[in-house]
C-alpha cells in the first residue's frame, strides 16, 4: 500500500509518452460540477459552472482576477460552501458536507496554496508527518519513511530537519506539495502556487508539478503560467465573470479563441 503513496491511486498506470490514450478512454470522472453557484453576500462569484475532470488529467484554469477561478478550486475542497448546483469530487458529494464528510474528502484531495502555509514552528519533516500520525494514525517511523519518499520526489531530502524560515520560496512550495502528496490524494489542487515566486524559483516548482502529472496524478491548477498550461494541460478552462467561458485542449483553445474576452486575455496576459 505504501508503494502507491504519492504516485497516484492504484491502477493509474498512465505513461508519459501517451497520455491521450488514457484520457480519451472511458475513464472514471473524478470531479463533476453541475451549475455550481457561489455567492459572497450579494456578490455572485460563480454563476452556474459546469465541468468534468477525468482521472489522470491535468486541468489548468485561467482567467483574470475576480473571475472566480480560485473560488471554484476552493469549492472543490469544501473550503467554501456552495449555494447551488452539484459538486462531486472523488466520489464525495461536496454539496453541504458534514464535518466528518469534509475530513474524508480531504484525505482524497490535496491542495497547495500561493502562500505555502507551512507550519513555521515545525521542521520540514514534521510538517509532512503531522497529518500522517495525527489523522492517518501511522507510527512516527512509518510516517518518517513516507516523508523521506515524498521529499525525494520534490528533490529536498536534505531539508528534512530544516525549519520553513530556512527555505527559499521555491523550496517552501515544494515542501507544501510534498506535504499534500504524503497523504496519497487522488486529486491535487494548486491555487496560483507560483504567483509569489521569482521567475527562477518558479521553474523548480513547475518541474515538480510536471513530474507529478507525468506520474498520473490528477491535477487542477489555477495559474498564470500560460506556457506551462499550454504545454502540459489536457484541458484549459478560461473563466470569466464566474462562468466557464471557453474550455478545451490547449492548442485548439489558444490558437482559435472563440470569444472576444479570451482573445483579449491571451493578447494581454502572455
Partner 1 sequence: MNSLSFTHLGYLVIAAQWTVLLSLMAFVGGAVLGLALALARVSKIVLLRNAAAVYIQVLQGTPLLVLLFLSYFGMSIAGLNVPPLLAAALSLTLYTGAFLGEIWRGCIQSVTPTQWEAAECLGLSRFAQYFYVVLPQASRIAIPPTVGFMVQVVKNTSLASVIGFLELSRAGQIVNNSTFQPFTVYFIIALMYFALCYPLSLASRYFERKLHVGK
Residues that bind partner 1 (CB under 8 A): 77, 79, 99, 103, 106-107, 110-111, 113, 115, 117-121, 130-131, 134-135, 179-180, 183
Angle value at C-alpha 216, between 206 and 151, nearest 5 degrees: 55
**Could you tell me the smallest distance in angstroms from the CB atom of residue 106 to partner 1?**
4
Question: Which lies closer to partner 1 via its Cβ, residue 88 or residue 117?
Answer: 117
**Could you tell me the smallest distance in angstroms from the CB atom of residue 66 to partner 1?**
20
Question: Which lies closer to partner 1 via its Cβ, residue 183 or residue 229?
Answer: 183
Return d(Cα 45, Cα 243) in angstroms, integer.
9
Question: Which lies closer to partner 1 via its Cβ, residue 23 or residue 79?
Answer: 79
Query: What would the grid cell of residue 105 be?
Result: 474528502
**Could you tell me the smallest distance in angstroms from the CB atom of residue 265 to partner 1?**
28
**Could you tell me the smallest distance in angstroms from the CB atom of residue 177 to partner 1?**
13
| Partner residues linked to 44 by β-bridges | 39
**Could you tell me the smallest distance in angstroms from the CB atom of residue 94 to partner 1?**
14
DSSP 12: -
Sheet of strand 84-89, all strands in order from the earlier edge strand to the far edge: 43-54, 29-40, 84-89, 92-93
**Could you tell me the smallest distance in angstroms from the CB atom of residue 168 to partner 1?**
18
- Cβ within 8 Å of residue 188, ≥6 positions away: 109, 110, 111, 112, 177, 180, 181, 212, 217, 218, 219, 220
**Could you tell me the smallest distance in angstroms from the CB atom of residue 179 to partner 1?**
7
Task: Tell which residue, 97, 52, 53, has the closest CA to residue 79.
Answer: 97
Return d(Cα 18, Cα 15) in angstroms, integer.
6
Q: How many helices (H) and strands (E) does the chain have?
A: 10, 10
Question: Which lies closer to partner 1 via its Cβ, residue 29 or residue 135?
Answer: 135
Question: Which lies closer to partner 1 via its Cβ, residue 69 or residue 179?
Answer: 179
Question: Which lies closer to partner 1 via its Cβ, residue 158 or residue 165?
Answer: 165
Question: Which lies closer to partner 1 via its Cβ, residue 113 or residue 245?
Answer: 113
Instruction: Give the CA distances from residue 166 to residues 83, 121, 150, 207, in Å, rounded to whole numbers and listed in that order.
Output: 42, 12, 19, 21
Amino acid at each position: 500500500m505504501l508503494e502507491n503513496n504519492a504516485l497516484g491511486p492504484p491502477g493509474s498506470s498512465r505513461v508519459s509518452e501517451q497520455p491521450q490514450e488514457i484520457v480519451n478512454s472511458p475513464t472514471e470522472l473524478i470531479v463533476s460540477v453541475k451549475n455550481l453557484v457561489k455567492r459572497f453576500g450579494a456578490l455572485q462569484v460563480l454563476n452556474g459552472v459546469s465541468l468534468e475532470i477525468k482521472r489522470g488529467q491535468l486541468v489548468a484554469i485561467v482567467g483574470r482576477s475576480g473571475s472566480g477561478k480560485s473560488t471554484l478550486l476552493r469549492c472543490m475542497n469544501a473550503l467554501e460552501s456552495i449555494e447551488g448546483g452539484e459538486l462531486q469530487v472523488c466520489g464525495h458529494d461536496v454539496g453541504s458536507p458534514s464535518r466528518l464528510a469534509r475530513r474524508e474528502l480531504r484525505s482524497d484531495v490535496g491542495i497547495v496554496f500561493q502562500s505555502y502555509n507551512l507550519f513555521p514552528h515545525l521542521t520540514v519533516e514534521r510538517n509532512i508527518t503531522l497529518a500522517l500520525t495525527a489523522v492517518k494514525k501511522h507510527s512516527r517511523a512509518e510516517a518518517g519513511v513516507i516523508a523521506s519518499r515524498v521529499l525525494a520526489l520534490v528533490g529536498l531530502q536534505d531539508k528534512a530537519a530544516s525549519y520553513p524560515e530556512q527555505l527559499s520560496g521555491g523550496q517552501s512550495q515544494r515542501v507544501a506539495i510534498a506535504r499534500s502528496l504524503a497523504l496519497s490524494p487522488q486529486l491535487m489542487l494548486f491555487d496560483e502556487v507560483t504567483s509569489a515566486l521569482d521567475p527562477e524559483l518558479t521553474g523548480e516548482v513547475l518541474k515538480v508539478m510536471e513530474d507529478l502529472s507525468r506520474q498520473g496524478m490528477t491535477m487542477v491548477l489555477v495559474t498564470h503560467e500560460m506556457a506551462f498550461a499550454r504545454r502540459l494541460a489536457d484541458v484549459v478552462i478560461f473563466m470569466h465573470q464566474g462562468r466557464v467561458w471557453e474550455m478545451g485542449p490547449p492548442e485548439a483553445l489558444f490558437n482559435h479563441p472563440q470569444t472576444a474576452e479570451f482573445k483579449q486575455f491571451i493578447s494581454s496576459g502572455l
